[in-house]
Amino acid sequence: MTSGGRELLKWIALVLMTGDHVLTVFGLGYVPVVSELGRVAFPVFALVMAYNLAQPGADAGKSARRLALWGLVATPAATLAFGQILPLNVLLTFAAAAGGIWALERRQWALVALLALVAPVALDYAWPGVWLVLTCWRWHRGQGGQPWLVWGCMGLLCLYNGNAWALLAIPLLRLGHVDVAIPRLGRVFYGYYVGHLAALSLGAAILV
């Protein structure tokens, strides 16, 4: 995938995620198209993240620390937005996945088990979410990963969601190969995640 193509996918996923969160926070229930497309956001983010961390020179430890920090910052806003602290927000899911990759690279199996088997019980998208990133990363790295493991995790994600709409992320990934000039704005995505949850919480408190 191209750098610009990956950024394009992330912007698309951000829009889909926002629509899904609007429905959830304002208690609007099922809305055709918006509800379905909301299930596509997470796997797109996950698959792009796995691809990025599989590139030479990628620093999974740095990514894990950054995601964990932003995930902690987002926790109050996510708690207000969704009315519960558990499962912990998706940034912490991605932090666990990045930490698991860092541990796999160093063969720290106890830490791998903690992040991939224990921690997901408290995280959004649980085990399918963390495992999808890990299996896709291993596949891209050519370290014994197999496509069927990625597909298996996609299947588990569909079971978690209660529908198969997440599979739309697979054809959507073709856009990642488009050669477009979109700069990388990683911190903008983190800030947006926190900010939009806070704004939605405020809006719901006023209007609902």
Q: What is the pLDDT of residues 133-163, one digit of tens each?
A: 999 999 988 755 578 899 999 999 999 999 9
What is the pLDDT, as a whole number, of residue 143?
57
Tokens of 67: 């995601």
Tokens of 177: 């190969």
The C-alpha atoms of residue 89 and residue 49 are separated, in whole angstroms, by 16
pLDDT in tens, 94-129: 999 999 999 999 999 999 999 999 999 999 999 999
Q: Percent helix, strand and coil across the chain, each rounded to 5? A: 80, 0, 20
Count of C-beta atoms within a 10 Å radius of residue 151: 13
The range of the structural domain enclosing residue 188 comes to: 3-207
Domain count, the chain: 1
The crossing angle, in degrees rounded to 10, of helices 147-161 and 126-141 is: 160
Please name which of 26, 19, 16, 161 lies closest in space to residue 83, comparing C-alpha atoms: 26
pLDDT in tens, 6-45: 999 999 999 999 999 999 999 999 999 999 999 999 999 9
Could you write out the DSSP letters of every residue in 142-204? TSS--HHHHHHHHHHHHHHHTSSGGGGHHHHGGGGGS-------HHHHHHHHHHHHHHHHHHH
pLDDT in tens, 159-179: 999 999 999 999 999 999 998
